[in-house]
Copies of this chain bind each other. A is one copy, B any other.
Amino acid sequence: MQDFTFFNPTRIEFGKGKEANIGQYAKDFGVGSVLVLYGSERIKKDGLYGRVTASLDEQGISYSALGGVISNPVISKVREAVKVVKENNLQGIVAVGGGSVADSAKAIAAGAKYDGDVWDFFIGKAVVEDAIPVFTIMTLAATGSEMNPYGVVTNEETQQKYNLGGPSLFPKVSVINPELMATVTPDYLAYSAVDIFAHCLDLYFTAKVFPEFTAALIENILETVMRTTSVLMKNPADYDARAEFAWASTMALNGNTFVGVADNSFDTHIIEHAMGGLYNVPHGAGLAVVLPAWMKSIKDQMPERFERFAEKMFGESDADAGIAKLTEWFSAIGAPVTFAQAGLAADAVDPIAENAFGIAKLWGMDQLYPQQRIAEILKLAVK
């Protein structure tokens, strides 16, 4: 068991209709004005935006609203929002959407307390020392952003999909109402399931120190995702399945899976961030392409871990069968597992490898992941 610090002060408000209390939650933290940040205008049609703003009005919290955050969110939108927050002297942010909106909100919250360019936090030029309070109302369960202090944003000029983080970026309160997720499309449900798998498997297949309790917790998360995804593919309105899926998603990246773990890395995320930054592939779709290829490339380094995975998840006895079954499952739920299925050309291998190597350098992983090795992994996914 590796020494660790566990700290996660985010308050989760989980359940039906909880978004209607967002004004009270903001007030609990002394916030009197907010930026309501969101993605598509759909939330105005379906009533969610109205419920959020009514709750803010009720508590006398003033707000500005800014929509248009996209999947693979971009730094230009973050900069635009920082300007709005500063000009209106807003005290907090209410993010209404999925991981892209929550991640953008964190960047905006840090930018609001910083005089320089917010991209500085992503490239290691500045450290997040302070931020205005972030509140989230999640409409998609995938990234775990609602209960962690990380955010990923793409710089569309430099084609870098990079991340920022810092303890002040934990959301103060996050609303997880599974009913708001009932309209997630089947493809995004699949991408979300894959994203959760990637959060867990990056750790599961790289950690040299890996307590049994933590391993079993991760298997519990993955089993929950597989079980509930199957239910939801047949019946998107199943509340309990949606709720367990959402909680598994939160648990996959809120610190619990890192307990006592050491010498782990975020291999598939490095490669996928390059894909997303260059070609705007949906995060979960990119991960579905990368994961099986990456697993094939490292299975001989940890044969026992791969055999355990095959046995626990699929009742199979060898590593290859486990990888094959996972790949089949990704395909069965509609996630792409090859370059072609993800709309990527074979000649994208080298640009992705080069971009990923830039991320590997930033994360101090360039020794482990030379560009050539990344290219070899990608080649396994081409056909």
- A interface residues with partner B (beta carbon < 8 Å): 1-9, 11-16, 18, 178, 211-213, 216-217, 220-221, 223-224, 227, 239-240, 243-244, 247-248, 251, 256, 259-260
Contact = CB atoms under 8 A, between A and B. Distances in A.
Given A3-B14, A11-B5, A217-B217, A224 B212 contact: yes
Contact of A240 (B1, B3, B16, B223): B1
Nearest to A15: B3
Given A7-B9, A211-B247, A217-B217, 6 more contacts: A1-B240, A6-B12, A14-B260, A212-B227, A213-B247, A216-B220
A227 B216 CA distance: 13
A178 B1 CA distance: 10
B216 A223 contact: yes
Nearest to A256: B256
A7 B3 contact: no
A9 B172 CA distance: 11
8 contacts: A3-B14, A3-B16, A3-B18, A5-B12, A5-B14, A7-B11, A213-B244, A217-B217
A370 B220 CA distance: 38
Contacts of A16: 3
Given A213-B224, A217-B220, A220-B216, A244 B5 contact: no
